[in-house]
Structure formats: structure tokens, C-alpha cells
Amino acid sequence: MASIKLAGVTRAFGPKRAVDNISLDVKDGEFLVLLGPSGCGKSTLLRMLAGLETLTDGEIHLNGSRVDLLPPSARDMAFVFQSYALYPHMTVRRNITFPLIMRHHRWWFHIPLIGHLAKRRIERQPDVAELVDRTARILALTPMMHQLPKTLSGGQRQRVALGRAMVRKPEVFLMDEPLSNLDAKLRTAMRAEIIKLHQQVGGTFVYVTHDQIEAMTMGTRIALMRDGVVQQLGTPRDIYADPVNTYVARFIGTPPMNLLTAELDGRGGVVAGGAVLGLPGPLASLQSADKAVVLGVRPAALAIRPAGEPGTLAGEVTLVEHIGAESLITMKLASTRTLHSEDGSAADEVIATSPGYSELSAGLQVGVAVDTTDAVLFHPGTGERLW
């Protein structure tokens, strides 16, 4: 059982607040992902959980007891680093066994021959060997237990690092971008390994990444951060379908959500680029005429029609990308502005996804039909969700 409570956790470096007054609960057995761009404070927050960074303000509780004043070793949390941090001169077996050897550590372990024999004795204890062998089996490391880390691939090294964390049977696993040194294919494989690991060994996981696909596939909940502040905390589905602001809306989803400047028409619809679009129930009731809004629609909600078709926005295809199962169509809109960049500055392009191999080509004039069933509306000034 391991639940974590963060209350007003803050870490300042000089005038900069890397982590700014974060309060959240991590439930027992949860896989919480801290997601955000480089520099948003996610590693600092994880390091404070581990005890590798002090708090400027706030408290951290593990199972109801305050731990932020305790040293890392007293917290029962295992940390897996991006860089693996394996001992290069030790075999895979010794690397995985190392935390168990350290539990029995005595000063004379440093004396070369005596220390060596003592460590080997611990390594060969039936309960220790059995636990290490079982861990190696789960991680498919059994055939390479006598190898040194330098003879392993990146994925295998990361599995050794995971094994070393697992044998401690910690209450909490803390992982800081553990897959970021791996190539795309290995990342996908290791992603699945870590999800399985969580299902098999249980425990509470807090996992840092800047990769939204990792966050969406692995997390039971995601805390999406920006400038030291949690923008939204929710299940992957909540964050995708119900973003609280334009930052979250653009961060999650590939390609990102299209944000179109629009105006409520006072009759249950919205006007964008001269086209009147109907809105679904809750949005339709939010009417006040001439009110400027930002209309958020996912790329799959845009369909390409012949130019001039009633109810569509006039546009021109500027780029067609074939990515296998679907094509990405970028279009420049004739008279609608979009909020495109993360700083909210206006542009005029939208992206649609179209199933299969699209035969469209750049330069073609089209009409863009917008399905507003799952659309969201934001305030044009603050970027906050309007309902």
C-alpha cells in the first residue's frame, strides 16, 4: 500500500519557481505520469519525491506520514534514471542483486578479497538468488546474467535498471524518462514492458516524460505541467477529450487540436470563416451573440469537400503527408484565423486526418467541413475552457 500526498510543494532556484505550489494525491497502485515540455519542473518534482532535492515549501506524505525531511534511503522508493546508472564493472546479476547486498552492508565490505567473498555469499543465499532469478525471468534477462552492461543493448540495460529497482520491492517506483535513450522501436517495446511490470508487481508508479504517447498509453492519470504548475490532472481520456485550456488541448494529440477563432451567433451555432456551424447541446446553450470564442476541433473532425460546398470553410491544400493508415492534410484557410502556436499567436492553417492514402495534392482549393460533435470552446483571451 503506498499513497502519496503532495501539499503545496514548491522548489525555487533563485527567483525562479521550478515547481510552484503543487498539491495532488497519488493513489495506491496508481501509475501517475508527470508530463510536460523540457524545463516545466517535472524532474525536479520527481527528485523531491525521491529525496534528491529539498523543498523550498510544502510537504510530502507517504501513507499518511511526512517524508520530505527524511533521507532518500528512508523513503522506500526506487528511482530509475534515464541514464540507467548501472555499475559498469559488475555483471547483470550483481547489478540486480546490488540493492539486496547493500541491505547487509558492513564497513569491511570495502576490503577487496573479504568484501568480494561476503558479497558473493549474499548473492548466493537461496532467497536472494531466487528473487533475482524471478526478476530476471520477468524481464527476459536470464540468458545474460553473466554479461557486463557494456555488452548489452540500450533496452537490455534499461531492463537491468528496472530489475535493480524491482528486487527492492519498493512501495513506490519513480522513473525519470527511462526510455528516452532508446530508439523508437525499442521505446515501444519497453513501454509495453513497463505497463506489464506495473500490472505484475503492483506498487505505485510516478513516471516523468515529455512524450505524450508514453503518457497516454502508460498513465492511469496524467499531470500535465507547464512552468512548474499542473495545468490538468486526469485520466488520459479526460485530458484528451476535456482539455481545460488551449495549452492542454494542443499538447495532447498528434497532430494537435485545431483552434479556430470564431463567434457565437446567438442561435446555438458558431460562425467561423463565414460558415455557420451548429454546436452540440451544452455548447449551443452557451450563446450570446457576437461573442468571440476559440473553437477547438480534432483533426479527425475535419473533412475535405469540394470547394464552395455550403457550410464549409474555404481553404487550400498546402501539404499532404501519407503516414500509412491515414494521411495528414494541411490546409490554409481563406478567411479564418487559427491559434496555432503555443504562445497563442494567430496563423491560418488547420490539419485534417483522412483515412487511407489521400489523392489530394498541394494547391487544390477545397471546402473544409467541421464536425462539431466533440468540439470544445475556449476563451480567446485567457485560453481557458468556456464551460
Q: Which residues bind ligand ATP (CB under 6 A)?
A: 13, 18, 36, 38-44, 210
Cα R_g (the chain), whole angstroms: 26
The grid coordinates of residue 290 equal: 457576437
Judge contact between 163 and 136, C-beta under 8 A.
Answer: yes
42/164 with CB nearer ligand ATP: 42
Distance separating alpha carbons of residues 98 and 167, to the nearest angstrom: 9
Compute the least distance from the CB of residue 82 to ligand ATP, in Å: 9
Give the residue from 1, 221, 143 showing the smallest Cα distance to 159.
143
Please state the closest distance from residue 344 (CB atom) to ligand ATP, in A. 21
Q: For residues 38 and 216, what is the distance between their CA atoms, to the nearest angstrom?
A: 18
Closest distance of CB 381 from ligand ATP, Å: 27
Residue among 18 and 139 whose Cβ is closer to ligand ATP: 18
Q: Nearer Cβ to ligand ATP, position 210 or 340? A: 210
Q: Which is nearer to ligand ATP, 44 or 158 (CB)?
A: 44
| Strand intervals (E) in 165-280 | 172-176, 204-209, 221-226, 229-234, 258-264, 269-272, 275-278
Taking the complex as a whole, the smallest distance from the CB of residue 33 to ligand ATP amounts, in Å, to 13
Closest among 240, 215, 224, 243 to 24, alpha carbons compared: 224
**Closest approach of Cβ 40 to ligand ATP, in Å?**
4
Question: Whole-number minimum distance, CB 41 to ligand ATP, in Å?
Answer: 4
Q: Which of 22, 28, 27 is nearest to 48 (CA)?
A: 22
Q: With respect to ligand ATP, which residue has the nearer C-beta, 17 or 250?
A: 17
Cβ closer to ligand ATP: 219 or 296?
Answer: 219
